[in-house]
Amino acid sequence: MERMADVFRKTARLIARGEIEGDLAKAAGTNTDGDAQKALDVIADEAFMAALAGSDVRYYASEEQDSVVELNGQGGLGLAIDPLDGSSNIDTNVSIGAIFGIYPAGPDGDATFLRPGRELIAAGYAIYGPQCSVVLTVGDGILKFVLDPETQEFVQVASPAGVGIDSAEYAINASNYRHWTKPVRAYVDDLVAGAEGPRGRNFNLRWVASLVAETHRILTRGGIFLYPSDAREGYAHGRLRLVYECAPIAFLVEAAGGMASNGSDPILDIVPDELHARSPLVFGGVDKVMRVAGYHELPDEEISALFGNRGLFRA
C-alpha cells in the first residue's frame, strides 16, 4: 500500500499540473477491450508496474495490459487494477481515480484473478478530485485517507458512513434509456415519475461518468449506481469490467454495509470467465439494490404496465 500510495501521490500532482505537463488526454492507442487509451491511462499503468516491481505483488492484472503480468516470482499477492478510472474526464478537470483489488496469489496468473470477488483480501480506490483521497477495506469496515497537500502525507480521517442513508439520488447514464432492458426502464420510469408516480417521492439524477466519483458520493451520502447491460453492440454485459472495476467496488461497498449486484445476483459470487470480462453493476444501499432485483422478478404484465398501473412498488 505504501508503494501504491506513492503512485497516487505522484499521479495527483501530475493531474493538478494538467496542461503544464502536456496533454494528458492525448490519444495513446487501444487496449485489449477496444477502449481508446489516453496518455494518462498509459502513464498510470506504467507507474504502478514500476512502483510494484520487487514488492510482494507476484501477479499484476490491469485494464491496460492484454494479460496478467508476472512482476515478482517470489511474491504472494495478485493486484487487479484500473490504473486510471474515468478516462473521459481527464481533460475536463472532473474527478478521476484508480481502482484496485488484492488477492492472495493463486497457482498461476489467470487462477489468481478468475475467482469470486469474495476471495479478495483488500480493495479500494484513489480519487483525484478537489481532494486526493484513498478509501479502502481489508474486509471489515472501510478506511479513508486524505492527501495533505502541505506535507504530502496521507492522513486518516473519519470513515464515510453514508451508504445506508435514505438518499433520493440515483446514477445511471440515461442517454442509453432506449437500449435498456424492460426491468431497468421500469425502475427508472418509476424514479422519474417522482412524487406523482408509484414511489411517491422525487428523485435526483447524478452522472459524473467516473466510477470512483460515483462510489465516493454514494459511500458519503447514499444513493444507487447502475451501469446495466443494454442492446448496443458490445454492451450485452454492460460496460464495466469484473476483475478490476466491479469486484473491488463491490467488496468495498459490502464492507461499508451496502450491496452490489449485476441486477439480480451478488457481484462477489460471480466467477469471471476472462480477465477483461464485463458485468452489469448495481450498487448502493441494501434496500435500493434489492428493489432493482425486485423489478427483474416482476411478471411481464407488471413490467410493461404504465408506471401509474404498476401496483407492486407503490410506496
Ligand X SMILES: O=P(O)(O)OC[C@H]1O[C@](O)(COP(=O)(O)O)[C@@H](O)[C@@H]1O
Binding residues for Mg(2+): 63, 82, 84-85, 245
Contact 32, 68 (CB under 8 A): no
Q: Report helix, strand or coil for 214.
A: helix
* Residue 85 binds to ligand X (criterion: CB under 6 A): yes
* Residue 119 binds to ligand X (criterion: CB under 6 A): no
Task: Report d(CA 92, CA 89) in Å as an integer.
Answer: 5
* Residue 85 binds to Mg ion (criterion: CB under 5 A): yes
Task: Report d(CA 59, CA 80) in Å as an integer.
Answer: 8
Contact 46, 65 (CB under 8 A): no
Q: How far is the CB of 176 from Mg ion (least distance, A)?
A: 17
- Contact positions with ligand X (CB under 6 A) in 25-84: 35, 63, 82
Q: How far is the CB of 122 from ligand X (least distance, A)?
A: 20
- Please give the annotated binding residues for substrate, written as ranges: 85-88, 173
Q: For residue 145, what is the enclosing H or E element?
A: strand 143-147
- Contact positions with ligand X (CB under 6 A) in 159-198: 173
Helical ranges in the chain per DSSP H:
2-17, 39-52, 109-113, 182-192, 211-221, 247-255, 286-297, 300-304
Distances (CA, A) of 22 to 17, 64, 92: 9, 21, 14
- Contact positions with Mg ion (CB under 5 A) in 46-75: 63
Q: Nearer to ligand X by C-beta: 45 or 254?
A: 45
Sheet with 57-62, edge to edge strand ranges: 69-70, 57-62, 77-85, 96-104, 122-128, 132-137, 143-147, 154-157
Select the residue interacting with ligand X from 30, 88, 92, 152 (CB under 6 A).
88
* Residue 86 binds to ligand X (criterion: CB under 6 A): yes
Q: How far is the CB of 227 from Mg ion (least distance, A)?
A: 10
Query: Among 113-121, 128-136, 205-213, 257-265, which window interacts with ligand X (CB under 6 A)?
Result: 205-213
The one-letter amino acid at 109: G
**How big is the site for ligand X, counted in residues (CB under 6 A)?**
12
Interface residues with ligand X (CB under 6 A)? 35, 63, 82, 85-88, 173, 209-211, 239
Interface residues toward Mg ion, by CB under 5 A: 63, 82, 84-85
